[in-house]
Structure 1
């Protein structure tokens, strides 16, 4: 196993990886952190080799680590054995994963999306919570969605919190970013139906006619879909509230809609 050992938190590579908790560093470098051997292997198996691979002594004997090391070195990446203390600082957790990979971010332009490649797609307008975003990406992966489109100023899908919530699906689901104006212009060429979720809608989500392919458009956690975004939809639907709660968590609502469309 061709690697070197680092024990100092002041090591330049370690400092660079730690900095990736900050959006500024992620934006400047185009890199992000994925924690855990499972996530790293998921990245490798979907064609994304780590630029940097950090691992602790406890992972050294794992058979899949050798695969990760070979993939990293084959892509001219850097492989470093580090202490548990460094792993804890890199992940900002008391019980860190024994393997951490640094990967390149990937965003796909709107123009290259092929709507008929999948039954269902998801667009999120100004989503704020990285846990919600990561969970929606994971659900989109599980349901076989074509991709997730981030409209307007959204939280970063490559933040450590969002990536954790994807459980490795960050590598499997194509991501796209667009301004509201770009999305509105592109949406006009959508060949199927665009469905929005609104608490004030009259149509129950179970009664709607979802034309194929379906693009689900959901608003953020505080305001939901604003009028200009709702106006882009062919139909707006509601998920009925039967108890005292007046709304659902965004990722739960997205999951219900995704499986309603793909059922």
Structure 2
């Protein structure tokens, strides 16, 4: 894609446009366009001009096919593709379903966003901009930084290497958190989401199988609302209730291994 005036406007909004964070923020802004009543602060306020957004989707200036699809979706959400090839019919069913869930215009908005995302990803690939950013976290007062995937961007080959090289350090950090006093209870989570007590060695052995890893925490303050009924509100705790490790075993997101580390104080779960 090449639409110089549009990108000149975006560069005025954010000179860091052509970076991982810049492109990711642009796509995030595009998503928030569908929620006009939100309090989202736009990194790229130029997007609020409808003509700019259409230009980013390569519409409004010569793309007759794309404009015709938009017109058809808005005019007839169910029958707009009756004369289209089978692959388009399958896609149309998707837009019809989301239209029924979120309103007619949502299907058109989603179609537009997919065009924009595809264009941005094409630009990302051409410029060799990474689809990975660094995440800085602090768990149990231990600072750590590791690479994470930007969901709306694509992974370059160099990104895969970056993610895979970080696996051992992420697992090492996770185990350090588990073994700090008070030591957490370590579990392997099976396919039925049952927690099975496991050993540190099991986590270490999984290192060689993982292509990338993620770590995150959960903590709640629980309020009893009735007999055997509890309502949890997310809360920050220096020693979180749960620490989760997710190991991805392939790049297609088909196979995972999950480990959970739970705080040893049973009162964290008052119904137990």
Question: Does TM, normalized by the shorter one, top 0.5?
Answer: no
Structure number with greater CO (CA < 8 Å, separation at least 6) is: 1
Which protein is bigger by CA-based radius of gyration?
2
In proportion to residue count, which structure has more helix?
A: 2
Tell me the TM-score normalized by structure 2.
0.30
Tell me the TM-score normalized by structure 1.
0.31
